Amino acid sequence: MLHHSWGTNEGLIISILGHRNADQRKVIRETYSQTYGEDLLKALEKELTSDFERLVHLWTLESAERDAFLANEATKKWTSSNQVLVEIASTRSSDQLFSAKKAYHALYKKSLEEDVAHHTTGDFRKLLLLLVSSYRYEGDEVNLTLAKAEAKILHEKISNKAYNDDDLIRILATRSKAQINATLNHYKDAFGQDINKDLKADPKDEFLALLRSTVKCLIRPEKYFAKIIRLAINKRGTDEGALTRVVATRAEIDLKIIADEYQRRNSVPLDQAIVKDTTGDYEKMLLAILGHDDA
């Protein structure tokens, strides 16, 4: 049915896919392929237009495949302002990240690490490679003595502007999120400022921006996501696809919390901001997915 009269059926796509959860979408995709002999995604690709298509495409993918797809895109189109790799490596759970890497093997016949190593250079590569290779311990245990010691190391390196220092990067890339949280709390207590304020020494430095994003993604992902949505909606910066990406990737995780954070920071509910900024089927699909989370 979808297959045969596309032009007038974006509404159908929205209502069928927009309100379904991941398991249901998987079944729909499988059934479609059995019935029509074609991958639903390929069929959609032929018929839909940019923002809407991309949103539907991302939404229909399974989460591991989705992350693999986004990561692959990010390595191929990598620029020093690209945050997608940091985002995926740092906001996903250890197992989610590994599932993404496994899907990456299957989809692209190589490892994510090879591609990241191959397409990035210098300090960026140092940070990104370690981030995507990590398999962080996920327990709540925190070693306060270690937190104090590592807060000191971080502060020392940052004060010396040694932002690419091996120890600085290893702490951020290998310690558990709970441990990093404790370390950064201690950092603030001991040195008076949030680490990200200290990492803003040069607002134009893209590596510092990436470090700040890493920190945010690790300990306050909802703030990170709310911010990049805001920047995308206000057409600032280069991450225009952020709205699509965040809605599609966080919908079944923490989109509601992100929306609350967005409203807190901008005094406007996210759905209103979306209505104001987007149109047509794209808008409708975004709202469907956003609302779907409430259902």
Partner 1 sequence: MAFNQELEAITQAFSGHGVDEKSLTTILGKWDPLERESYRKQTSNFFIEDHERQFQRWNDHCVRLLKHEFVRFKNAVVLWSMHPWERDARLAKEALKKGPSSYGVLIEIACTRSSEELLGARKAYHSLFDHSIEEDVASHIHSIDRKLLVALVSAYRYEGSKVKDDTAKSEAKTLSNAIKNDEKKPIIENDEVIRILATRSKPHLQAVYKHYKELSGKNLEEDLNDLRFKETVQCLCTPQVYFSKVLDEALRIDVDKNIKKSLTRVIVTRADIDMKEIKAEYNDLYGVSLPQKIEETAKGNYKDFLLTLIARGG
* Residue 153 phi, psi dihedral angles, 5° rounding: -60, -45
CA-CA-CA-CA torsion for 138, 139, 140, 145, nearest 10 degrees? -90
| Under rule CB under 8 A, residue 144 binds partner 1 | no
CB of 139 to partner 1, least distance (A): 6
**What CA–CA distance (Å, rounded) separates 213 from 221?**
9
| Under rule CB under 8 A, residue 175 binds partner 1 | yes
CB of 216 to partner 1, least distance (A): 20
| Under rule CB under 8 A, residue 135 binds partner 1 | yes
| Under rule CB under 8 A, residue 164 binds partner 1 | no
Who's near 132: CB < 8 A, 6+ residues apart?
A: 71, 85, 88, 89, 97, 101, 112, 113, 116
Compose the 72-111 pattern: x for residues touching partner 1 by CB under 8 A, - for all others: --------------------------x--x---x---xxx
CB of 105 to partner 1, least distance (A): 5
CB of 102 to partner 1, least distance (A): 8
| Under rule CB under 8 A, residue 177 binds partner 1 | no
Give the position of tokens 């470090």. 211
Segment 205 to 234, residues that bind partner 1, using CB under 8 A: none
Candidates 48-56, 130-138, 241-249, 272-280: pick the segment binding partner 1 (CB under 8 A).
130-138
C-alpha to C-alpha distances, 81 to 20, 52, 116, 279, nearest whole angstrom: 34, 24, 15, 27
Question: Of 12 and 149, which CB lies nearer to partner 1 in the complex structure?
Answer: 149
Compose the 106-125 pattern: x for residues touching partner 1 by CB under 8 A, - for all others: ---xxxxxx--xx------x
| Under rule CB under 8 A, residue 156 binds partner 1 | no
Question: Of 123 and 240, which CB lies nearer to partner 1 in the complex structure?
Answer: 123
| Under rule CB under 8 A, residue 48 binds partner 1 | no
Q: Which of 7, 46, 141, 204 binds partner 1 (CB under 8 A)?
A: 141
Return the structure tokens found at 140.
């709540």
Question: Of 11 and 139, which CB lies nearer to partner 1 in the complex structure?
Answer: 139
Return the structure tokens found at 84.
């997608």
Candidates 35-43, 74-82, 126-134, 248-256: pick the segment binding partner 1 (CB under 8 A).
126-134
The answer to whether the beta carbons of residues 2 and 9 sit under 8 Å apart is yes
Q: Using CB under 8 A as the criterion, which residues of the chain lie in contact with partner 1 when the complex forms?
A: 98, 101, 105, 109-114, 117-118, 125-126, 129-130, 133-139, 141, 166, 170, 174-176
